[in-house]
Chain A
Amino acid sequence: MAIKTFTSGETLTASDTNTYLNNGGLVYITKTTFSSSVAVNVDNCFTSNFTNYVIALNMTGASANTGIYMRLRSGGTTDASSIYLLSGFISYMGGVNLTAATSGGATTDWFLGSHDTVYYPNMPFRIEVMNPQVAYRTAIFATGWQPVNPMPYYRNIGGVTSNTSQYDGFSIIGNSASFTISGSVSVYGYRQP
């Protein structure tokens, strides 16, 4: 789409409006809030309408300090098999400290970061998801945090599935079934021409 520059006093036509609306960037798909839940599942958010997505996870609490993990879902079922690989780095905000982050092979989830109830609680996460609904490997590019005393580590990872299954949703979970998390999760699609 060509970039058009509107001038003062110019009429904004329906055609121009529709063109720009149809060629915007991110398209809101859905949002939900969750409270004191072991897991929050979002189903039917990955469709043939989009190839790539971004998820905004805004934490508002947890029952205790806990890791935050992600799994993919299909047909209302969470895939908890060992298909999730990741690598990246964590970097401490209190000084020069750069450490590799790796899953060490395929695991049963993607470790996005952690939630601390005392030091920098309620830090948000951003997860870009590519190819979840097509028969290629699903990849994520996630940024998050690992808060410690007295300040957080920034965590930046890339993740990929070892399979080429198609998924229509995802699940965000804590360390185990004994940890509960609260917050909201929003999903947007990258608009396609």
Chain B
Amino acid sequence: MTYRITTHDATTGETTSHEMTDDERAAAVDPEIVDLVATITDQLAELEQ
């Protein structure tokens, strides 16, 4: 799936759209969700032991 960001410049009236880079996608993810996923991963690992 393609993930795009749309940006509009009010000065020029120009609207552009570009596909997100991996860095942008990583930055867009809420840190709380990252922490939650890490916690769940840790708990699953403990259960498997």
Contact = CB atoms under 8 A, between A and B. Distances in A.
Contacts, number: 71
B6 interface: yes
Interface of A: 29-30, 32-45, 76, 80, 108-109, 169, 173, 175-178, 180, 185, 187
A104 B4 CA distance: 31
B38 interface: no
10 contacts: A30-B13, A32-B15, A38-B3, A38-B4, A41-B6, A42-B8, A44-B11, A175-B30, A176-B28, A177-B26
A180 B5 CA distance: 9
Contacts of B9: 43-44
Contact of A38 (B10, B20, B26): B20
Nearest to A40: B6
Contacts of B31: 108
Nearest to B2: A36
B6 A187 contact: no
A41 B5 CA distance: 8
A35 B17 CA distance: 10
Contact of B28 (A35, A76, A173): A173
A41 B27 CA distance: 15
Contacts of A76: 7
Contacts of A29: 10
Q: Which 6 A-B pairs have the closest CB atoms?
A: A32-B8, A30-B10, A45-B10, A177-B28, A34-B6, A41-B7
Given A177-B3, A180-B4, A39 B10 contact: no
Contacts of A175: 30
Nearest to B30: A176
A42 B10 contact: yes
A35 B33 CA distance: 25
